[in-house]
């Protein structure tokens, strides 16, 4: 029983770990979801990366540049005005 629970825990965490295994571009599907989400909020998305365990989108809104950070559930967790 203990081995089954450990195996189940491992299987459930692997997909999330794979998303952030390295700092690189997210999958095309994930990028499309992020673009749709941010475009709906008025941003023009320029670039999307996976970095430091989250997604980072470089975007423009109302002539200003922003870095928008999203967690693994694609929820915006931080918005920083880019210099």
pLDDT of residue 79: 98
pLDDT of residue 14: 53
* Residue numbers of the domain that contains 41: 2-81
Domain count, the chain: 1
CB of 2 closer than 8 Å to CB of 31? no
**pTM recorded for the entire structure:** 0.70
pLDDT of residue 73: 96
**Separation CA 62–CA 16 (nearest Å):** 34
For the chain, residues with pLDDT lower than 70 are 1-23
pLDDT of residue 13: 59
Q: Which helix (H) or strand (E) holds 67?
A: strand 64-70
């Amino acid at each position: 029983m203990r081995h089954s629970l450990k195996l189940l825990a491992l299987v459930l965490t692997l997909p999330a770990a794979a998303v952030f295994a390295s700092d690189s571009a997210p999958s095309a599907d994930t990028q499309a979801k992020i673009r749709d989400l941010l475009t709906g909020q008025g941003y023009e998305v320029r670039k999307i990366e996976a970095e430091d365990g989250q997604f980072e989108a470089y975007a423009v809104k109302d002539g200003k540049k922003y870095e928008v950070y999203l967690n693994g559930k694609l929820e915006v967790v931080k918005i920083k005005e880019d210099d």
